[in-house]
Amino acid sequence: MIIQNTKLTCFIEQSRIQQRTTEIAHELSKKFVDQTPIFIGILNGSFIFLSDLIREMTVPSEVDFIKVSSYAGEQSTGTIRLIKDISADITHRHVIIVEDIIDTGLTIKFIKDRMLEAGPASVTIVTLLLKPDMVKIPFPVDYVGFEIPPEFVVGYGLDYDQQFRYLPAIYRIEGNVNE
């Protein structure tokens, strides 16, 4: 399909995302039975995945957000900048960090290190997408929705220069129709 002069092809259908999100929510619910974990969503990209995930949980939870920036267009700038910090006190809390996509891993490493400074009871990492060929982090990612090749994808919260976040599935950018 073509949206705003950009050719997009569907990469992961909405029904597959829903099914995988439910599976992860059930695993997290088992892990945190009798607990009230706090989800920390990384803005902006994780907001749709996070909202679907918490509604499939069978244990109560709390939610907060953190915002960092490292990307301009399709390129990571390599430097992470904190734009909005969490407001909750996470000391002795079970923290679940929710990311839309892990590419190099720089963002998730920055945020995990920052969360650990507050002395949480545990830190669990959930990402909808992971690019295993790109990632360089010294710790495992606990829950991965889908592993994908190192290509730029949009939709279901993920953007290209703030576009396409609203799309209900995940798409690959094939190029600009004017080029």
Q: Where do contacts with ligand IMP occur on this chain (CB under 6 A)?
A: 42, 45, 70-71, 76, 99-107, 152-154, 158
Give the whole-angstrom CA distance, residue 113 versus residue 115: 6
The structure tokens 């592993």 sit at 147
* Angle, helix 47-55 to helix 14-31, in steps of 10 degrees: 60
- Is 21 or 127 the residue whose CB approaches ligand IMP more closely? 127
Provide the minimum distance between the beta carbon of 54 and ligand IMP in the complex, in angstroms, as a whole number.
Answer: 18
Helices and strands (DSSP H and E) totals, the chain: 3, 10
Provide the minimum distance between the beta carbon of 129 and ligand IMP in the complex, in angstroms, as a whole number.
Answer: 7
- Is 14 or 35 the residue whose CB approaches ligand IMP more closely? 14
- Is 69 or 122 the residue whose CB approaches ligand IMP more closely? 69
Active site residue 64: no
Q: Which has the closest alpha carbon to 86: 47, 48, 53, 38?
A: 38
Provide the minimum distance between the beta carbon of 120 and ligand IMP in the complex, in angstroms, as a whole number.
Answer: 21
Q: Strands, DSSP E only, in 13-107?
A: 38-43, 62-72, 75-84, 94-102
Provide the minimum distance between the beta carbon of 8 and ligand IMP in the complex, in angstroms, as a whole number.
Answer: 12
Dig out the tokens for 106 from the structure. Answer: 């720089």
From 34, 52, 85, 103, the catalytic residue: 103
Dig out the tokens for 6 from the structure. Answer: 């950009």
- Is 1 or 72 the residue whose CB approaches ligand IMP more closely? 72
Annotated catalytic sites, by residue?
Answer: 103
